Amino acid sequence: MSQATISIVSVGELATRASPYQGILVPTDGSELSTFAVDQAIALAAATGAAIVFLTVNEPFHLFTTSTEMIEASREEYERQRETHADRILEQAGAAALEAGVPFIAVRQWNDDPFKEIIRVAEERCCELIAMASHGRRGLSAMMLGSVTNKVLAHSTLPVLVVRKPVNVSKVPVYLAEELSGASGHGVD
């Protein structure tokens, strides 16, 4: 049986290494965790000289659905609302990238399978890395809700940087808390 070594590194540590990443795809849905992943990807890109492709993927309108957004709106209203929401998310991500001096483009797409669109756009735009958030759901909730991040990890041939919610450093052992707070100010799961 072979052994694998798993390294946990901070964005700061990655940035000090020679970077093979010239293009980073960052899918975002505007959630708090996704916005944290955007910020982390911008920090990495700024430190390594990479450009970013921000991506939002909207689910197309379906006549038969349980989504209240689709039930309450006509196809045109739904699409207009989703486009407006996606544009707002991309504008916020773009403003953060501009502030950090990171070149970027913003892409808005429609697809029933967001993970497929994430992989497709990353390959089409010649990105070398996908950086995305994960809620870290486990057990039944992971099975029931599925995970776009897990699907990207399973199907992409590109490296994927998974950004998780920072650990509350006050709740980890002292030796680990010192290591985590000294590295980047943020913990890891």
Tens digits of residue pLDDT in 121-158: 999 999 999 999 987 655 555 554 458 999 999 999 99
What is the domain partition of the chain in residue ranges? 19-183
For 157-166, what is the mean pLDDT?
A: 89
Distance CA 140, CA 77 (A): 34
Q: Which of 20-24, 77-81, 140-144, 152-156 has the lowest mean pLDDT?
A: 140-144
Q: How confident is the model at residue 171 (pLDDT cuts 50, 70, 90)?
A: low
Half-sphere exposure for 87 (CA within 13 Å, toward CB): 6
pLDDT at 4 over 50: no
Strand order in the sheet with 129-133: 104-110, 51-58, 23-27, 129-133, 160-163
**pLDDT average, residue stretch 66-79:** 70
Q: Which amino acid is at 81?
A: Q
pLDDT in the model for residue 144: 45
For 49-70, how does the pLDDT look when each residue is reduced to its tens digit (9 = 90+)? 999 999 999 988 866 655 566 5
Pick the CATH number of 19-183 from 3.40.50.2300, 3.40.50.620, 3.40.50.10260, 3.20.20.110: 3.40.50.620
Cβ–Cβ < 8 Å for 168, 132: no
